[in-house]
């Protein structure tokens, strides 16, 4: 007899491992470029009842072999702010499929995650209006699904899911039509958000440059070079809105810092 908790335990461990890979990568992005592509991560194991229902819909029995055919028994949702963040997340998943060699003896480390299938419901939304990018992966024979989507796509999908539940799977036609047009609005919202992403990136770049600039001024002031710091402050007033000029000013100020004073924190 199949004991549900025993069956899903390795999947739970797998999801925790994948989740921590995403979290680590996200912090590296944040540290290196001041921006992280992942907004939120959710993961879940399908409930026994829901797995039973799905298998019976597919005409399959409730056993170990049939459960292996449910690609979303273990599922993870990676939610991004912008559509343009999605390829970054896909790139991360792809990087896990490369064999890793251990430092000792060069043996292959078996934490490799392979992509079994990709489904792009963003380029080709489902007739309901559902949009998301699905990646079906597997590690050591355990299959799981990663859904990558924006906040707008996630909002739509979770609302539609809730309505499906409320109407017992049979959403009335007028509600379905409304949902479809909201999905189109969500698509337009995502496109508009991608447009302003450029501004967000510029804002991040500017604040990083200003951090470096003020750090240099602080050192100059505390190393007997306050007159230089004052001079830079005056120049900053003129270049504040010009990213390139701000960049060269920050480099110049950093170069004026006496040797040995600059510390990377």
Q: Name the site residues for ligand 0O2 (rule: CB under 6 A).
A: 46, 54, 72, 119, 126, 128, 130, 134, 157, 160-161
Task: Write down the least CB distance from residue 124 to ligand 0O2, Å.
Answer: 12
Nearer to ligand 0O2, 24 or 126 (CB): 126
Task: Write down the least CB distance from residue 87 to ligand 0O2, Å.
Answer: 20
Residue with smallest beta-carbon separation from ligand 0O2: 130
Q: Distances in Å between the alpha carbon of 49 and those of 61, 73, 75? A: 13, 12, 16
Nearer to ligand 0O2, 49 or 244 (CB): 49
Backbone angles phi, psi at 210, to 5 degrees: -65, -35
Alpha helices per DSSP H over 34-115: 48-57, 64-67, 86-95
Nearer to ligand 0O2, 53 or 247 (CB): 53
Nearer to ligand 0O2, 38 or 74 (CB): 74
Dihedral of CA atoms 248, 252, 254, 257 in degrees, nearest 10, equals: -170
- Nearest-5° angle of CA 102, CA 104, CA 105? 95
Task: Write down the least CB distance from residue 14 to ligand 0O2, Å.
Answer: 17
The answer to whether the beta carbons of residues 24 and 31 sit under 8 Å apart is: no
Task: Write down the least CB distance from residue 11 to ligand 0O2, Å.
Answer: 13
Nearer to ligand 0O2, 11 or 130 (CB): 130
Task: Write down the least CB distance from residue 182 to ligand 0O2, Å.
Answer: 12
Beta strands 142-150; 74-80: pairing state: parallel
């Amino acid at each position: 007899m199949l004991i549900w908790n025993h069956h899903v335990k390795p999947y739970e461990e797998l999801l925790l491992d994948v989740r921590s890979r995403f979290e680590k990568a996200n912090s590296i992005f944040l540290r290196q470029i001041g921006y992280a592509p992942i907004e939120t991560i959710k993961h879940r194991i399908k409930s026994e009842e829901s797995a039973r229902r799905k298998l019976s819909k597919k005409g399959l029995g409730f056993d170990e072999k049939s459960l292996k055919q449910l690609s979303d028994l273990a599922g993870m949702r990676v939610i991004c702010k912008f559509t343009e963040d999605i390829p970054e997340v896909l790139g991360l998943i792809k990087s896990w499929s490369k064999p890793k060699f251990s430092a000792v003896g060069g043996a292959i480390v078996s934490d490799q995650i392979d992509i079994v299938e990709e489904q792009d419901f963003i380029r080709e939304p489902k007739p309901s209006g559902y949009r998301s990018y699905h990646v079906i992966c597997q590690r050591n024979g355990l299959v799981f699904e990663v859904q990558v989507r924006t906040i707008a796509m996630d909002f739509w999908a979770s609302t539609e899911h809730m309505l499906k539940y409320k109407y017992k799977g049979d959403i009335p036609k007028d509600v379905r039509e409304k949902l479809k047009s909201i999905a189109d609005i969500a698509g337009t919202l995502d496109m508009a958000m991608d447009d302003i992403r450029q501004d967000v990136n510029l804002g991040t770049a500017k604040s990083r440059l200003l951090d470096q600039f003020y750090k240099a001024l602080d050192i100059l002031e505390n190393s007997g070079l306050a007159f230089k710091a004052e001079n830079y402050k005056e120049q900053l007033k003129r270049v504040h809105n010009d990213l390139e000029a701000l960049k060269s000013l920050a480099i110049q100020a950093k170069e004026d810092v006496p040797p040995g004073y600059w510390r990377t924190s």
